[in-house]
Amino acid sequence: MSKLRVAIVGASGYSGSVAVRLVAAHERLALAFATSDKLAGESVGKHLGTRLDDKQVFFPNSAAVDRAEDCEAVILATAADVSMRVAPDFAARGKQVVDLSGAFRLDAAAYPRWYGFEHTAPSLLDRAHYGLPELFGLPPGGSLVANPGCYPTAALLALAPLLRGKLIETQGIVVDAKSGVTGAGRQGGEAYSFAEVDDDLRAYRVLTHQHTPEIARGLSKVVEDGQSGEIGVTFTAHLLPIKRGLLATCYARPRAGVDSRRVADCLAEAYARTAFVRAVPPEEAMIKRVVGTNLAYVGASANADVVVAIAAIDNLLKGAAGQAIQNLNAMNRWPETTGLDCLQRVSP
């Protein structure tokens, strides 16, 4: 069986290194090359513990486009401004592109405010498929996939079916989410050192986090006629003193007649035929049940005043590299569980 050759650009970061391991273990994929400025010239297998020959080495990130003909697909585990510059070159060469950054998740006008740069490839924004398969379907073959952020993945899985089912109002939505420190990427600053993170819990990027418009935009895609007003979302991210895992607790205003049974049934029906999303009682949506897997646990409850919807995911898998592989599987019309169904959670 011939294998699809996949390049990983930015392979020494947390999400990039997980993507390399997933590709190496995948029965239909082969690692074409991996890039890293930090590890250029060093063995990929030595650093990432994959099944690769130790002779396969990291190339510098600047060599990625020059080596594009060596691959058929690419996963970009790079900063948004880098992905914005690199993705068009791979797409123009007919390569399948899955971008883990936020470079293709928003409208062009939003980038100066939320990302701090003008978007230089606006034509690709309309072509990009927002890659949350359980909510927005399969990406077309050969497409550019904007892999959702980890916080939006959890928030949207918890809230979108309730909004689509007209069980909650479009205004007054609050997303309170907490992630392990790998969600911030490899950071060398004091704020992410062990002494600063351990035994602590803190919010960051309050009212300025780039995932706020992404969550609102994703929810707006499921709003049907008859639901008035734009989506009103307040999102706050928090840093947990753990390595990986993410929990999003979401609050919304219920519509008339909504109760716990209706919101629970809505989530159960929405995800009954999905491979990776499990509807559970909200108290069972726990980080320890999903870390190490591509699973999402979602649950909801309600009273007359509020709906509470909770989602738990592994931020590096369903929130990043695992979902990227899920999208690659979908683009090539393979079972979406291929290469992901044997992952095991890392806690008891």
55 with 186, same domain? no
Flag whether 142 is in a domain. yes
- CATH number of the domain within which 170 lies: 3.30.360.10
User: Residue 54 corresponds to which tokens in the numbers above?
Assistant: 């130790």
Instruction: Answer whether residue 22 shows pLDDT above 70.
Output: yes
Radius of gyration of the chain (CA): 20
Flag whether 113 is in a domain. yes
DSSP 70: G
Instruction: Answer whether residue 228 shows pLDDT above 70.
Output: no
71 with 40, same domain? yes
Q: Higher pLDDT residue, 45 or 105?
A: 105
Flag whether 348 is in a domain. no
Among 71, 150, 250, 266, the one annotated catalytic: 150
Mean pLDDT, residues 22-29:
96
Q: Which residues lie below 8 Å from residue 149, measured CB to CB, with a gap of 6+?
A: 102, 105, 210, 211, 214, 319
Flag whether 259 is in a domain. yes
Mean pLDDT, residues 85-102:
97
Please state whether beta strands 202-204 and 233-239 pair in parallel, antiparallel, or not at all (unpaired): antiparallel
Flag whether 345 is in a domain. no
Are residues 315 and 180 in contact, defined by beta-carbon separation less than 8 angstroms? yes
167 with 197, same domain? yes
Instruction: Answer whether residue 161 shows pLDDT above 60.
Output: yes
136 with 156, same domain? no
Confidence (pLDDT) at 307: 98
pLDDT mean across residues, the chain: 94
Flag whether 346 is in a domain. no
Q: What angle do CA 161, 298, 130 make, to 5 degrees?
A: 55
Cα–Cα distance measured from residue 99 to residue 156, given in angstroms and rounded to the nearest whole number: 19
pLDDT (tens digit per residue) in 96-147: 999 999 999 999 999 999 999 999 999 999 899 999 999 999 887 768 999 9
Instruction: Answer whether residue 191 shows pLDDT above 90.
Output: no
114 with 229, same domain? no
- In the sheet with 58-59, reading across from the earlier edge strand, the strands are 58-59, 29-35, 4-9, 73-76, 96-99, 144-146, 129-130
20 with 72, same domain? yes
- CATH number of the domain within which 102 lies: 3.40.50.720
Cα–Cα distance measured from residue 126 to residue 285, given in angstroms and rounded to the nearest whole number: 34
Residue 28 CB coordination number (10 Å): 17
Mean pLDDT, residues 32-60:
87
Are residues 148 and 132 in contact, defined by beta-carbon separation less than 8 angstroms? yes
Q: Which three-class secondary structure state does DSSP give residue 146?
A: strand
pTM exceeds 0.85, yes or no: yes
pLDDT (tens digit per residue) in 244-262: 999 999 999 999 999 999 9
15 with 93, same domain? yes
179 with 271, same domain? yes
Domain range for 99 is: 4-147+320-331
215 with 289, same domain? yes
Secondary element (H or E) of residue 212:
helix 211-220
Confidence (pLDDT) at 188: 57
108 with 180, same domain? no
141 with 164, same domain? no
CB burial of residue 93 (10 Å; 0-12, 13-18, 19+) = middle
Closest CA to 300 of 172, 162, 173: 162
Confidence (pLDDT) at 179: 97
Instruction: Answer whether residue 348 shows pLDDT above 90.
Output: no
Confidence (pLDDT) at 150: 98
Residue 200 CB coordination number (10 Å): 10
29 with 132, same domain? yes
Clarify whether 150 is annotated catalytic: yes
Phi and psi of 343, rounded to 5°? -65, 140
Confidence (pLDDT) at 9: 98
Instruction: Answer whether residue 175 shows pLDDT above 60.
Output: yes
DSSP code string of 167-185:
-B-SSSEEEEEEE-GGGG-
- How does residue 187 score in pLDDT terms, banded at 50, 70 and 90? low
Flag whether 344 is in a domain. no
Instruction: Answer whether residue 194 shows pLDDT above 90.
Output: no
Mean pLDDT, residues 72-83:
97
Instruction: Answer whether residue 225 shows pLDDT above 60.
Output: no
DSSP E strands: which ranges in the chain?
A: 4-9, 29-35, 58-59, 73-76, 96-99, 129-130, 144-146, 173-179, 202-204, 233-239, 246-252, 277-279, 296-302, 307-313
- How does residue 226 score in pLDDT terms, banded at 50, 70 and 90? low
The number of folded domains in the chain is: 2
